[in-house]
Chain A
Amino acid sequence: MQLALDASIANLPATERTASELDDMDALVRTYRPRLLRFVAFSIGDTDLAESITQDCFLKAYNARDRFRGDCSISTWLTSIAVNLIRDQQRLQKFRFWRQARATAIDITDATNFLPSHESSPESRLLVKEKASQVYAALQNLSPNQRSVFLMRFFEELELSEISAITNIPVNTVKTHLHRALKSVRTQVRAAQSAAPDDARNPQLNRRARRPQPTSSHPAGETL
């Protein structure tokens, strides 16, 4: 496997170069593991595999820490390693005829139980759970490239240039992937919302719907 460690991220703005952070494996894992695990897990949709890939990612980063030149942030560098590992895994999965049933797939409704309970009311928690489930279901229908780019932009909050450098895709193609992914997610979430009983599901949107409409016509009144 070829890690895009050197040349591919040369155009990124220089950020922190923390050699001691890379040497301290415990600190590295403590700091970046949640984000990396989230990215890998929702990219491939398998919890056990995601943990394995995340560990591989940290080990590769630790072994290749001398090659990190500080052209990008450590988080971006780790993400680029993870993207390559995910790509390898997806390539490998194509040739596996004995693909397992998704026994270790992420249960998003179970994941919502991890939300801190003191931050919100039960109603808003239910709303969050509902919307998160809809987005997660929509993510499953995206292509691997669209999903990966979507997660990098909206979860990892990477810039378009960073995504372009990590994935070796031109910036315009990244934008295209993001537009298509957003459109697909929006369509599916809207369909899920319209299929659900409106009053019980989304009181916020219904309140907005009951509001007096502005006199000006809104050409694009669509929301997620």
Chain B
Amino acid sequence: MNSYPDQSLSFAAESSAAYLLTRDHLTPDQVDDHLIGDLAPSAATHLAACPLCADRVAAAASPIANFQQVSTAWSERRSATLPLPVPTQQRPIWQRHMGWATASLSLAFGIALVNAGHQFSALTTPEPVPSVSAGLTAPRQPIVAPQAPAFTETASLSPSTRASQISADNRMLRAIDASLNPSADSPAALGLTRAAISNGPPASIQD
């Protein structure tokens, strides 16, 4: 008999808890909030105590979890079969353009070299001076550019050496003139006189 009030009290408490559970079931938005991770504390408390809502939340999360499972398996298999990317170390700007800079410098240097060669040959080659008399009297000599070392050699000689060199050259030129002198080839120079010519060939060639 004494236990009746206690039993009725506990029954009332249970029924009120069940009422609260029934009344505070999660709405679909709250289920979404739970999945998103933004569930209010009161709803979270209810979820912890209500197996029905827990079941609903699990059912809502199940397709997403399945999809996550499938996609993870797919990506892991896919990644396992792919080659690893080779990292390209990014070089500084001056290194990146080093090739172009070298090529440009080489090209500029080549062009400058070719231009310098042309200018040097234009300076060292004397212009032929047209001379009417020379053209008429003597056959035209081929133009030979004087050798640059000859100039420098002459300039570097001492005065005495230069004088002896000049005299030696003069001697050589006189010898050349003498050898080229047509009078040297005359019969008189060869020891042939008019009488000797009229008497016939010399004895040396008579045989």
Give A residues with C-beta under 8 Å from B.
Answer: 25-26, 29-30, 33-35, 37-38, 41-42, 47, 51, 55, 58-59, 62-63, 106, 108, 111-112, 114-116, 127-129, 131-132, 134-136, 153-155, 159-160, 175, 178-179, 182-183, 185-186, 189, 205, 208, 214, 216-224
Do A114 and B74 touch (CB < 8 A)?
yes
Provide the residues of chain A in CB contact with B38, threshold 8 Å. 160, 175
CA distance in complex: A219, B52 (Å): 12
Do B75 and A179 touch (CB < 8 A)?
no
Task: Name which of B29-37, B105-113, B139-147, B151-159 contacts chain A.
Answer: B29-37
CA distance in complex: A129, B74 (Å): 12
Do A42 and B71 touch (CB < 8 A)?
yes
Do A183 and B63 touch (CB < 8 A)?
no
Do B77 and A222 touch (CB < 8 A)?
no
Interface contacts (Cβ under 8 Å), in number, total 136
Q: Which of B35, B36, B68, B77 is in CB contact (< 8 Å) with A155?
A: B68
Q: How many residues of B contact A (CB 8 A)?
A: 44
Provide the residues of chain A in CB contact with B72, threshold 8 Å. 34, 38
CA distance in complex: A112, B32 (Å): 26
Do A222 and B69 touch (CB < 8 A)?
no
Whether a CB of chain A sits under 8 angstroms from the CB of B174 is: no
Do B63 and A135 touch (CB < 8 A)?
yes
Closest to A186 in B: B60
Known: A111-B74, A132-B67, A219-B27. A59 touches B36 (CB 8 A): no
Interface centre among A41, A42, A182 (most CB of B within 10 A): A182
Q: Which of A25, A33, A128, A222 is in CB contact (< 8 Å) with B66?
A: A128
Provide the residues of chain B in CB contact with A219, threshold 8 Å. 25, 27
Interface string of B69-90 (1 = CB under 8 A from A): 1111111111100101101101
Q: Which of B31, B35, B63, B74 is in CB contact (< 8 Å) with A131?
A: B63
CA distance in complex: A219, B31 (Å): 12
Provide the residues of chain B in CB contact with A160, threshold 8 Å. 36-38
Provide the residues of chain A in CB contact with B90, threshold 8 Å. 63
Do A135 and B36 touch (CB < 8 A)?
no
Known: A38-B72, A153-B36, A175-B38. A62 touches B87 (CB 8 A): yes
Provide the residues of chain B in CB contact with A183, threshold 8 Å. 28, 32
CA distance in complex: A177, B52 (Å): 27
Q: Which 7 residue pairs of A and B lie closest in terms of their CB atoms, listed nearest first?
A: A38-B75, A111-B74, A216-B22, A223-B59, A135-B67, A132-B70, A114-B73
Do B71 and A25 touch (CB < 8 A)?
no
CA distance in complex: A131, B59 (Å): 11
CA distance in complex: A58, B71 (Å): 20
> In angstroms, how far is the closest chain B Cβ from the Cβ of A174?
9
Interface string of B9-40 (1 = CB under 8 A from A): 00000000010011001111111100111100
CA distance in complex: A205, B59 (Å): 9
Closest to B61 in A: A224
Q: Which of B37, B70, B75 is in CB contact (< 8 Å) with A37?
A: B75
CA distance in complex: A189, B22 (Å): 27
